[in-house]
């Protein structure tokens, strides 16, 4: 079993590493100091298990777990935290187990047994937990990944089984559906076409072309985007309230 340990406290990582050393067939392949580094480590090493602290700087353990749910193969997640108040959120993020620090050897062993059971009946990744919105999108790049802040996204364009994320630093592909992104980030993005969501603050005006089509002009767009007829009325109403 390949394991990634993610905790911003060196002593906590050391304790877990020492406890895992006593477990047969377990290999610690990487350690991370926050959620972002944990995601990079998982993209590189494809672990079977991630031991995640919750309260970490930047991307915390709960958000990291929601990103990991979209990985294929999907690693099991066990949270290790000093605060039992996060238990409900942890299981909403589909964690296999929840260990309270200081982690005891027998509880860790029990969690590893749960992970082995999970691995035996592993299913494909699910979606983000209801009501939970990520602060980043995650693009996989040849064994690595790029985290794209939601506030940097200009628009999302569906193309076959991918969505192209147009953002402040360029473009990236993500393997998520436009519908799931609309459900998660509907307060930030507005649909202008069956294959396109645009950040509300990016739309500066709507204009009609010579052939009668409506286009959305974006603050950072190189060219206007087509607005479907069924979206025009709702989009005009949205723009009145921006």
Residue 174: which pLDDT band, with cuts at 50, 70 and 90?
very high
**Cα angle 64, 165, 221; round to 5:** 140
Of the listed ranges 15-24, 27-36, 230-239, the least confidently predicted one is: 230-239
Q: How many CA atoms lie within 13 A of 99 on its CB side?
A: 24
The residue-averaged pLDDT of 1-7 equals 97
Specify whether the CB–CB gap between 4 and 49 falls below 8 A.
yes
* β-strand partners of 198: 155, 190
**When comparing pLDDT for 73 and 68, which is higher?**
68
Q: How far is CA 28 from CA 34, 92, 191, in A?
A: 16, 26, 44
Indicate if the pLDDT at residue 27 is higher than 90: yes
Residue 137 lies in a domain: no
Whether residues 169 and 112 fall in one domain: no
The DSSP element (H or E) to which 114 belongs, if any, is: helix 105-120
**When comparing pLDDT for 144 and 59, which is higher?**
59
CATH number for position 220: 2.40.50.1020
Indicate if the pLDDT at residue 77 is higher than 80: yes
Q: CB under 8 Å to 209, separation ≥6 — which residues?
A: 215
Domain-ending residue, one of 100, 120, 140: 120
Residue 78: which pLDDT band, with cuts at 50, 70 and 90?
very high
Whether residues 70 and 166 fall in one domain: no
Whether residues 116 and 160 fall in one domain: no
Whether residues 113 and 156 fall in one domain: no
Indicate if the pLDDT at residue 124 is higher than 50: no
What's residue 95's pLDDT?
A: 83
Whether residues 55 and 108 fall in one domain: yes
Q: How far is CA 241 from CA 153, 182, 183, 234, in A?
A: 21, 19, 20, 11
The residue-averaged pLDDT of 204-228 equals 94
Q: For residues 106 and 121, what is the distance between their CA atoms, to the nearest angstrom?
A: 23
Specify whether the CB–CB gap between 174 and 163 falls below 8 A.
yes
Of the listed ranges 25-39, 76-90, 180-194, 208-222, the least confidently predicted one is: 76-90
What's residue 127's pLDDT?
A: 43
Q: For the chain, how long is the longest CA-to-CA vector?
A: 73
Mean pLDDT of the chain: 88
What's residue 31's pLDDT?
A: 98
The residue-averaged pLDDT of 85-91 equals 62
Whether residues 67 and 111 fall in one domain: yes
Residue 131 lies in a domain: no
Indicate if the pLDDT at residue 90 is higher than 70: no
Indicate if the pLDDT at residue 121 is higher than 80: no
What's residue 28's pLDDT?
A: 97
Q: For residues 238 and 242, what is the distance between their CA atoms, to the nearest angstrom?
A: 7
Q: What is the tally of structural domains in the chain? A: 2
Whether residues 10 and 114 fall in one domain: yes
The residue-averaged pLDDT of 59-82 equals 89
Determine how β-strand 76-81 pairs with β-strand 49-52.
Answer: parallel
Residue 132: which pLDDT band, with cuts at 50, 70 and 90?
low
Hey, how many other C-beta atoms are within 10 angstroms of the C-beta on 98?
Answer: 20
Range of the domain at 160: 152-240
Residue 135 lies in a domain: no
Specify whether the CB–CB gap between 202 and 155 falls below 8 A.
yes
Describe the strand order of the beta sheet including 2-6 as a list of residue ranges: 27-32, 2-6, 49-52, 76-81, 97-100
Whether residues 20 and 86 fall in one domain: yes
Kindly report, residue by residue over 175-200, the tens digit of the pLDDT: 889 999 999 999 999 999 999 999 99
Phi, psi angles (nearest 5°) of residue 221 = -85, 145
């Amino acid at each position: 079993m390949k394991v990634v340990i993610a905790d911003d406290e060196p002593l906590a990582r050391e304790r877990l590493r020492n406890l895992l050393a006593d477990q047969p067939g377990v290999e610690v392949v990487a350690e991370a100091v926050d959620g972002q580094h944990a995601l990079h480590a998982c993209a590189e090493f494809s672990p079977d298990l991630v031991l995640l602290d919750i309260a970490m700087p930047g991307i915390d353990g709960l958000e990291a777990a929601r990103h990991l749910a979209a990985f294929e193969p999907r690693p099991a997640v066990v949270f290790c935290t000093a605060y039992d108040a996060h238990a409900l959120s942890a299981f909403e993020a589909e964690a296999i187990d929840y260990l309270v620090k200081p982690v005891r050897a027998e509880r860790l062993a029990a969690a590893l047994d749960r992970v082995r059971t999970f691995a035996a009946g592993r299913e494909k990744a699910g979606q983000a937990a209801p009501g939970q919105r990520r602060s980043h999108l995650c693009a996989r790049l040849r064994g690595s990944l790029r985290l794209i802040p939601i506030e940097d996204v200009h628009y999302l364009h569906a193309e076959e089984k991918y969505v192209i994320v147009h953002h402040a630093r360029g473009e990236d592909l993500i393997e998520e559906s436009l519908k799931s992104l609309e459900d998660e980030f509907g307060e930030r993005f507005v649909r202008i076409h069956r294959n396109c969501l645009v950040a509300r603050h990016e739309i500066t005006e709507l204009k009609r072309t010579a052939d009668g089509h409506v286009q959305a002009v974006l603050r950072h767009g190189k060219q206007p985007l087509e607005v479907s007829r069924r979206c025009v009325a709702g989009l005009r109403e949205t723009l009145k309230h921006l």
